[in-house]
Amino acid sequence: MAAVREMGGSLSARTWTRGAECVATEVDGALVLLDLEGGMYFALNGPAADVWLALESPRSEKALVEALTAKYAVESDHCARSVAVLLKDLAVKGLAKPAA
C-alpha cells in the first residue's frame, strides 16, 4: 500500500491518459514505444502494454484494475498496487499523465 499512498488522494478514482506522443510497434511479443519528441525507446510487456494501450482514452485506475483482473488471474488488491506503481513509473518516463 505504500506505493499507493505515495500517489496521494483517492487513487482508484484518479483518471489517467497517455503522456508524450509515441509510436507503438509490437516486437517479439513486447510493445515498443518510441517517444516522438524525446526520442527514447521503451518496451512494455503483458499487463504494462495493456495499460498503455487502454490509455488511448482517459481511464480511471479503477477501470484499469477491473480490465486487468478480467484478463489475468490476479487478486484485485495486488493488481491495484501494481497498477499504481506502473502508472507512477509511466508518469516519470512521460508516457502517462493524470487526465486534466
Quote the CA–CA distance of 33 and 82 in Å, as a whole number: 20
Could you say whether residue 27 binds other proteins (CB under 8 A)? Answer: yes
Among 5, 6, 36, 76, binds other proteins (CB under 8 A): 36
Residue 9: count other Cβ atoms within 10 Å of its Cβ: 10
Starting at the edge strand found earlier in the chain, the sheet holding 41-44 runs: 22-27, 30-35, 41-44
What residues pair up with 35 in beta bridges, in sequence order?
Answer: 22
Q: Which is nearer to other proteins, 26 or 75 (CB)?
A: 26
Comparing CB distances to other proteins, the nearer of 9 and 38 is 38
User: Does residue 53 belong to the site contacting other proteins (CB under 8 A)?
Assistant: no
Residues that bind other proteins (CB under 8 A): 23-25, 27-28, 30, 32, 34, 36, 39, 41, 43
